[in-house]
Amino acid sequence: MSDASTTAALTHAPVLLPEAVAALAPRDDGIYVDGTFGAGGYSRAMLAAARCRVIGIDRDPRAVGLGDALAQEHPGRFTVLEGRFGEMEALLATLGISAVAGIALDLGVSSPQLDDPARGFSFRADGPLDMRMDLAGKPAADFINAAPEEEIADVIARFGEERHAKRIAHAIAASRPLARTGELAQLVADALGPYAKRHKIHPATRTFQALRLWVNDELSELEKGLVAAERVLRPRGRLAVVSFHSLEDRIVKQFFASRSGRVSAGSRHMPERRAAYPATFTLLAARTPRAAEIARNPRSRSARLRAAERTSVPFAA
């Protein structure tokens, strides 16, 4: 990556950044985790907000490489680690850290990944059909070129919430092999035909989302990451999570609800249920982007921030 590209990546402002940092409320001498380092936006903002220490984590080795410049700017205050945020407890242990004051998770694909056609995440620019965040394992092309049609339809339906998943999977199976993002995007648009005109988003949006989530096992990683955060946060430590679609947001919302002691109020047909977990979190406000941010960055339109503060209740396995 060129110096210009590095600078652009490190100065990119993530969605809902001021709101997330406000929710984290960084304090001097606190230790904070940027669990999805990406372009470094959250790390940079937390370092500027207080005289704190920040540990960046990212599964993408190219993102980790960007962290070197930030570490040089803030000697002794910033460290970047390669790995998944679901493994943050073990990763932090390598630095002798067992508890932190705050954790930020900015879910999904980062702008540097999305903007680089060679990574294969975008349907707007032609590139290899890859989508791997950590550059390990099998790319998306291997899956769609080898999996049974029924399995492809199931992935697109479950992870993309695409109602026409069977139609798309049939078109994929009939056109294999596919190697480029441009090929797949056009194939999905052609398969949906008149159905595509009923939606404002690109017809391939849900299919690309589904493949990316499946290739990177993102929803399982999110579940692991939330539990890991619950384990390493100090009492009064805060967790801020920005999600970009309903599947992610549902997991975060349900986790916070269950860990804050919220239960169904019950009815005359069903008695009130007891909380399944102790109240390890207190809920803070949820936020969505303002109109000005959506106008400036259309990708932010579906984003939602949820934050919570850790109580002193011990973690229950």
Shared domain for 84 and 210, answered yes or no, is no
**241-257: pLDDT as tens digits:** 999 999 999 999 999 99
Shared domain for 46 and 175, answered yes or no, is no
What share of the chain in percent tops pLDDT 70? 91
Task: Give the integer Cα–Cα distance in Å for 141 and 118.
Answer: 13
Q: What is the pLDDT of residue 277?
A: 79
Q: Are 43 and 14 in contact (CB under 8 A)?
A: no
Shared domain for 108 and 134, answered yes or no, is no
Domain finish residue from 215, 231, 255: 215
pTM of the model: 0.90
Q: What is the pLDDT of residue 267?
A: 44
Domain that residue 188 falls in: 119-215
Shared domain for 166 and 211, answered yes or no, is yes
User: Going along the chain, which residue ranges are E strands?
Assistant: 31-34, 53-58, 78-82, 100-106, 233-243, 281-283, 304-310
What CATH number does residue 304 fall under?
3.40.50.150
Beta bridge partner(s), residue 103? 33, 239
**Cα torsion through 261, 224, 78, 36, rounded to 10:** -100
**158-212: pLDDT as tens digits:** 999 999 999 999 999 999 999 999 999 999 999 998 877 666 789 999 999 999 9
**266-315: pLDDT as tens digits:** 444 445 455 667 899 999 989 999 999 888 887 788 899 999 999 999 98
The reply to whether 70 falls in a domain is: yes
Shared domain for 266 and 289, answered yes or no, is yes
